[in-house]
Structure 1
Amino acid sequence: MNTTVKSPVSGSAVDQEPIPATKATQIIAIYGKGGIGKSFTLANLSYNMAQRGKKVLLIGCDPKSDTTSLLFGGRACPTIIETSAKKKLAGEDVKIGDVCFKRDGVFAMELGGPEVGRGCGGRGIIHGFELLEKLGFHDWGFDYVLLDFLGDVVCGGFGLPIARDMCQKVIVVGSNDLQSLYVANNVCSAVDYFRKLGGNVGVAGLVVNKDDGTGEAAAFAAAAGIPILASIPADEDIRRKSANYQIVGRPGDRWAPLFEQLAAAVGEAPPVRPTPLSQDGLLALFKASEVGRDYVLQPATEEDMCGSASFAKPSLEIVYETV
């Protein structure tokens, strides 16, 4: 039965079928376009959650292995895949202390991935989760496990949490630009697709990062039927501190209330089934002058391709007359 779900932030009604999280640990996958600010959002969100008494595990699932950089002041931590390879050569087993590190109550690790041109990133994600299971992933006692996934890549490894019901919720990070909303829409399409196949994962909402107030992200959220969990402004103070690997969501700091609000919204928002937009619907969120929405496709001709007038070439086929 459909129920009306209100956004934890905006209070706007969303007519959906919420699926309550049934596990004690909320496992949440965060997706978004590369460079949109997932790592920034997660580092500050996880830090704020830990300061509010929650036990949080942050897992970077991006081959760039940069999810934990902000949390650790720019310091790169050893990845699970890299450490596993080294330990295997040495005939040793991987231990928790080899790959999991902590700061002020936040536990964090990076799955890692292959070097450029030397393997499949998606397969690396699958291998990383296999190693996590060997380390006892399903027995760990966390309030929240946050998974940072690259949304631009559509291969199976990056869709693992959605396809295999490994998480209860998906959160999308986007901005007021077409490319990030295109990725957000793709993630919503993936959730909708696996729901049709009997999956249970839903979208908890959208985090608008670098919000300049133009409203396209809010329009997308309304059209897709998902709430906005938080809007992080395009502010120079945030940009500068983030570039210097500083946490801006510390309790008592200027931006702390924003991440306290986001932490509460993330915990309370039910996973809902989104309504993905068509390409035309996505373009309709923007002014035609900005995205070329009204452009009419012109078919190419043989003359265009060859640079000269085309002519019919004689066929070399031999046709035999039948008696």
Structure 2
Amino acid sequence: AIYGKGGTGKTTIAANLAAALAESSQRVLLVGCSPTADSSHLLIGETVPITVNSLLARELGLSCAEIVTIGYQGVGCLEIGEPADNCGCSSRGIAAAIEIIRTAGVIEQFDPDFVIYDMPGDLGCLGELSPEKWAIDCALIVTSADFQSMYAANN
């Protein structure tokens, strides 16, 4: 998972890490957790991805073929999108969507060697997306030298 204050380059690092792993013959799934659904644009170009939350709002089921857009070097790109209004904070909405894609078996269907979660800069109730809660093996914190970025990194 990649965390940090907005505007520090998290998405650029996530996309480039996914591309580098794919170029090394690894199967990669990039999960964009921002409400703006823009994590995968560097990998899929002008294609507008379908978001998990847009499918859920229409009460459609989730499958790998419906929700994962294939990008550069075969990187799977999945966008969470705008959370439901009743979730209380953005982190709860993201956590609920991640749980839904896991329960639906989307990640297993894609069968990645690596899953990269590109977390939004403003997480609100941070505990919902902690690495421990989601069994995330590695967390990268992207920051700059300014006070606000360091404050966000420490939280």
Q: Which TM-score band (shorter chain)?
A: 0.7 to 0.9
Which of 113, 118, 123 in structure 1 is aligned with 2:82? 113
Distance (Å, rounded) in 1 between the aligned partners of 2:52 and 2:115: 16
Please report the TM-score for the alignment, with normalisation by the length of structure 1. 0.43
Deviation for aligned residue 1:163: 4.2
Please report the TM-score for the alignment, with normalisation by the length of structure 2. 0.85
Deviation for aligned residue 1:136: 1.1
1:1-323 equivalences in 2 (<5 Å): 29-86=1-58, 88=59, 92-103=60-71, 104-114=73-83, 118-119=85-86, 120-137=89-106, 139-140=108-109, 141-156=111-126, 159-186=128-155
Distance (Å, rounded) in 2 between the aligned partners of 1:154 and 1:169: 21
The count of corresponding residues between Structure 1 and Structure 2 is 151
Deviation for aligned residue 1:49: 1.0
Distance (Å, rounded) in 1 between the aligned partners of 2:126 and 2:4: 16
Deviation for aligned residue 1:126: 2.2
Structure with the bigger percentage of strand:
1
Distance (Å, rounded) in 1 between the aligned partners of 2:47 and 2:35: 16
Distance (Å, rounded) in 2 between the aligned partners of 1:45 and 1:138: 18
The 1:36–1:156 alpha-carbon spacing in structure 2 relative to 1, beyond 3 Å, is closer
Asked if 2 retains the 8 angstrom alpha-carbon contact of 1:81 and 1:124, the reply is: no
User: What do residues 217-261 of structure 1 show as CA deviations (whole Å, max 9, x unaligned)?
Assistant: xxxxxxxxxxxxxxxxxxxxxxxxxxxxxxxxxxxxxxxxxxxxx
Distance (Å, rounded) in 1 between the aligned partners of 2:143 and 2:12: 12
Distance (Å, rounded) in 1 between the aligned partners of 2:99 and 2:11: 23
The 1:129–1:138 alpha-carbon spacing in structure 2 relative to 1, beyond 3 Å, is same
SS in 2 for 1:146: strand
Distance (Å, rounded) in 2 between the aligned partners of 1:168 and 1:114: 25
Structure with the bigger percentage of helix:
2
Q: Name the aligned partner's letter for residue 33 of structure 1.
A: K
SS in 2 for 1:139: helix
Distance (Å, rounded) in 1 between the aligned partners of 2:70 and 2:24: 16
The 1:82–1:146 alpha-carbon spacing in structure 2 relative to 1, beyond 3 Å, is same
Q: What is the aligned-residue RMSD (CA, Å)?
A: 2.1
Larger RCO: 1 or 2 (CA < 8 Å, sep 6+): 2
Asked if 2 retains the 8 angstrom alpha-carbon contact of 1:112 and 1:124, the reply is: no
Deviation for aligned residue 1:156: 4.3
The 1:76–1:181 alpha-carbon spacing in structure 2 relative to 1, beyond 3 Å, is farther
SS in 1 for 2:70: strand
Moved over 3 A (4+): 137-140
Q: Name the aligned partner's letter for residue 94 of structure 1.
A: L
Deviation for aligned residue 1:165: 4.2
The 1:112–1:177 alpha-carbon spacing in structure 2 relative to 1, beyond 3 Å, is same
Structure 2 residues not aligned, in runs of 5+: none
Distance (Å, rounded) in 1 between the aligned partners of 2:62 and 2:125: 27
Asked if 1 retains the 8 angstrom alpha-carbon contact of 2:62 and 2:101, the reply is: no
